[in-house]
Structure 1
Amino acid sequence: MLISELAERTGVSARALRHYEERGLLVPARNSSGYRAYSASDVVRVAQIRAMISAGLGTSVIGRYLDCVRTGEHGMSLEMCPDLRAELDALAGRLEAQQAELREKQRRLSELTAAGASARTPS
């Protein structure tokens, strides 16, 4: 299938597919006219890439661990190895820190709005 067909089947833009190719995540064959030729396995590969991106992994990390992704009847899973576990733990730590920062900002915003509301209340 051509890139436009893969884009339609996966819901991923042709531009994103070319980016995945540039990053070495997709390696399409070329037909006699030089066009990219994708197979059904590339549909699965794109789904794996998208799942990893949606979990917060960057393409460089995905490139190192894409071969650890398994797709079965119960969805996708990762075959864990120590390096991958360390990457995922680091990502989880960064997300927890960002969540704590957002909670603190939300608390400060609530304080500001509460102070503003009480300042406007007539005595």
Structure 2
Amino acid sequence: MRIGELSRRTGVSIRSLRYYEEQNLLHPMRLPSGYRVYGDTDVVRVQRIQALLEAGLNTQRIEMILPCLTQHGDGIGLSCADLYADLIAEREGLLSRMATLRASVKALDAVIAASPAT
């Protein structure tokens, strides 16, 4: 399939797909004309990239993780033990940032509650 079809099947813009290629996350075959050609496995790969981006990972981290993802019955698992600790640390960082944001919301709530309604 060509890039437009991959875009339609994944809901990801063509621009993003090209960016994923630049970041070494996608590796399409090239026709002699230069057109990119993708397979069905690229649909799954793009879906995984999207899920990891939504989880807050950057493209450098995703590049390291993608080769280690494997499908297990009801979900995706990590087959590279050395990356497990990295993901735990990433999760802890997210939780820390969430705690900071919650504290900020609480402080804003206090200011709003103490302010006269306009």
**TM superposition score normalised by structure 1:** 0.83
5 Å-filtered alignment, 1:12-31, equals 12-31=12-31
Residue deviations 1:47-71, cap 9 Å, x none? 1211211211111011112111113
Shift in alpha-carbon separation, 1:11–1:72, aligned structure 2, 3 A: farther
User: Is structure 2 residue 40 aligned with structure 1 residue 33?
Assistant: no
Whole-angstrom distance in 2 between the partners of 1:110 and 1:11:
37
Cα separation, 1, equivalents of 2:75 and 2:11: 18
CA distance in 1, matches of 2:110, 2:50: 39
> Do 2:78 and 2:84's aligned partners in 1 also have CA atoms closer than 8 Å?
no
Deviation, 1:80, is 4.3
How many residues are aligned here? 117
Aligned-partner residue type, residue 64 of structure 1: M
Matched residues in 2 for 1:89 and 1:75: separation?
18
Q: Check conservation: 1:48, 1:76, Cα contact below 8 A.
A: no
Where in structure 1 do 4 or more consecutive aligned residues deviate above 4 Å?
Answer: none
Give percent identity, aligned residues only. Answer: 44
Q: How big is the alpha-carbon RMSD for the aligned residues of Structure 1 and Structure 2?
A: 1.8
Deviation of residue 86 (structure 1)?
2.5
Question: Could you tell me how far apart the structure 1 residues matched to 2:41 and 2:110 are?
Answer: 53
Structure 1: runs of 5+ lacking an equivalent: none
Rg comparison, structure with higher value = 1
Partner residue of 1:108? 107
